[in-house]
């Protein structure tokens, strides 16, 4: 049985930590989170996949990392649901993950808004994100416009750099709104030099595997452009994006061990 643990945070924000059901599609992993109305298919390029229940894929303990530690970190982090990792061409791990923020406004589904309205909200979100630069570990922010999936779901895209307990990072984030709630999908790297555009591309690939369970009783068209404080909505969405960007999962420790292993092999 699925369950969610509701935690109240700053700004009256509510995150959820949930459990999943898992299936295999060829060599891909499909994680189903009915409690937050989505499932996601994670491609087989990710060698190591974890959620609050279990680990899937290869054994990461070869790098001296206890996979149970990663699972416990996901379980104890508000809004976290899974992490998927692979090693890039520079021998650093790339970490893709999702964060969820329960909404308070009757926004509906972002997909129901016109491209002009989505663009307007994106501009407001960008302004609110700029306010976080220099705060809570965020060093820089760059808005990268809107990405539409093949299924027509719009996502705001941005690149952030910052520092958390694991070190300096670069993150490519895509976010959208469905069933009044905020969904954030990140690909993050702690490599000292990384192609930020490729992080965005990884996150784009990630969201192409997302299927939302849309609540048909929610009528987005009743709220479009009228009765919505877009500044307040943008402020909350920006807060959720920052929170998800700076959460840590001991990935820098994994990268350090992976780098040492590479150096040892090259000696």
* All domains in the chain, ordered by first residue: 4-266 (3.40.1000.10)
Say if residue 150's pLDDT is above 50. Answer: yes
| Tokens (6 digits) for 67 | 């996979």
CA angle 7, 159, 118 (to 5 degrees): 75
Of 7-21, 47-61, 162-176, minimum mean pLDDT range: 7-21
Q: How far are the Cα atoms of 33, 133, 186 from residue 159, in angstroms, in the given order?
A: 26, 12, 10
Instruction: Give tens-digit pLDDT for 72-105.
Output: 888 888 888 999 999 998 888 899 999 998 886 6
pTM over 0.85: no
Q: Does the pLDDT value for residue 202 go beyond 80?
A: yes
Least confident of 38-52, 116-130, 223-237: 223-237
* H/E element, 244: helix 230-246
Quickly state the pLDDT bin for 146 (edges 50, 70, 90): very high
Average pLDDT, the chain: 78
The alpha carbon dihedral of 132, 138, 141, 144 has a sign of negative
H-helix or E-strand containing 230? Answer: helix 230-246
What confidence score (pLDDT) does residue 49 get? 95
Alpha-carbon span 118 to 102, nearest angstrom? 19
Confidence of residue 132 (pLDDT cuts 50, 70, 90): confident
pLDDT, average across residues 178-201: 94
Nearest to 196 by CA among 167, 159, 169: 159
Token match 């630069």: residue?
133
pLDDT digits (tens, 9 = 90+) for 245-267: 655 554 444 554 455 455 544 44
What pLDDT was estimated at residue 143?
A: 93
């Amino acid at each position: 049985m699925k369950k969610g643990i509701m935690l109240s945070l700053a700004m009256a924000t509510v995150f959820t930590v949930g459990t999943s059901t898992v299936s295999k599609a060829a060599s891909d992993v499909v994680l189903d989170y009915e409690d937050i109305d989505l499932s996601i298919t994670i491609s087989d390029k990710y060698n190591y996949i974890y959620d609050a229940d279990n680990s899937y894929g290869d054994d990461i303990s070869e790098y001296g990392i206890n996979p149970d530690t990663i699972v416990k970190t996901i379980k104890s982090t508000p809004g976290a649901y899974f992490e998927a990792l692979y090693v890039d061409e520079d021998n650093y791990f790339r970490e893709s993950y999702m964060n969820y923020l329960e909404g308070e406004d009757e926004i509906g589904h972002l997909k129901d808004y016109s491209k002009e309205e989505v663009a307007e909200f994106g501009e407001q979100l960008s302004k609110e994100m700029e306010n976080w630069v220099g705060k809570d570990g965020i060093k820089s922010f760059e808005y990268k416009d809107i990405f539409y999936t093949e299924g027509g779901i719009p996502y705001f895209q941005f690149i952030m750099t910052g520092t958390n307990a694991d070190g300096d990072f670069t993150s490519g984030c895509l976010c959208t709104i469905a069933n009044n709630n905020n969904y954030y999908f990140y690909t993050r790297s702690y490599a000292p030099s990384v192609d930020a555009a490729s992080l965005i591309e990884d996150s784009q690939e990630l969201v192409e595997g997302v299927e939302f369970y849309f609540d048909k009783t929610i009528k987005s068209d009743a709220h479009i452009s009228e009765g919505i404080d877009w500044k307040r909505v943008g402020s909350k969405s920006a807060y959720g994006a920052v929170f998800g960007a700076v959460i840590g999962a001991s990935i820098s420790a994994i990268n350090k061990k992976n780098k040492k292993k590479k150096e040892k092999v090259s000696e």
